């Protein structure tokens, strides 16, 4: 087998390899952490609009006073539940997102935005009063 044929074979084998895993998700500089009471006053009864860094897609999330969540993203809607953990993190359980497993994120304020941060994801949202989906 000559060098040219071996080169094509190597490229063909490389093309069949599994893709490299995604690296760490981009994380913005986090603002000051908020207590559960501070976060509750800025989020409950409000709709957050922003971007998920894990997908780069825009989305809207309504945090209802009764503990339910409603969200819209391009081409889909999602429902879930929320709570604050004892350590002040905001926890969400969605019907489909995160395979229905609870995701708890620390809550930070950066200017007019709220940052929901965990090692798996960072959501940067601006909250407005009422349900605006």
Q: How far is CA 121 from CA 1, 13, 39, 103, 116, in A?
A: 49, 33, 18, 9, 8
pTM: 0.75
| The total number of structural domains that make up the chain | 1
Query: Is 65 a domain residue?
Result: yes
Structural domain boundaries enclosing 43: 31-129
Question: Whose structure tokens read 């825009």?
Answer: 58
Query: Is 80 a domain residue?
Result: yes
Query: Is 16 a domain residue?
Result: no
d(CA 105, CA 118): 5
Listed residue (92, 114, 117, 87) closest to 102, CA to CA: 92
- 47-76 residue pLDDT tens: 999 987 767 778 899 999 999 999 998 888
- 91-126 residue pLDDT tens: 999 998 778 899 999 999 999 999 999 988 888 999
- Of 22 and 61, the one with more pLDDT: 61
Listed residue (107, 95, 102, 116) closest to 50, CA to CA: 116
């Amino acid at each position: 087998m000559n060098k040219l044929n071996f080169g094509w074979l190597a490229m063909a084998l490389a093309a069949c390899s599994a893709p490299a895993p995604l690296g760490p998700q981009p994380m913005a500089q986090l603002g000051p952490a908020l207590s559960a009471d501070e976060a509750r006053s800025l989020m409950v009864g409000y709709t957050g609009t922003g971007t998920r860094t894990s997908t780069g897609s825009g989305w809207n999330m309504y945090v209802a006073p009764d503990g339910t969540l409603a969200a819209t993203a391009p081409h889909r809607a999602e429902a879930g539940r929320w709570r604050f953990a004892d350590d002040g993190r905001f926890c969400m359980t969605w019907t489909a997102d995160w395979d229905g497993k609870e995701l708890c994120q620390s809550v930070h304020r950066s200017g007019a935005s709220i940052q929901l941060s965990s090692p798996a994801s960072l959501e940067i949202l601006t909250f407005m009063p009422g349900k605006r989906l």
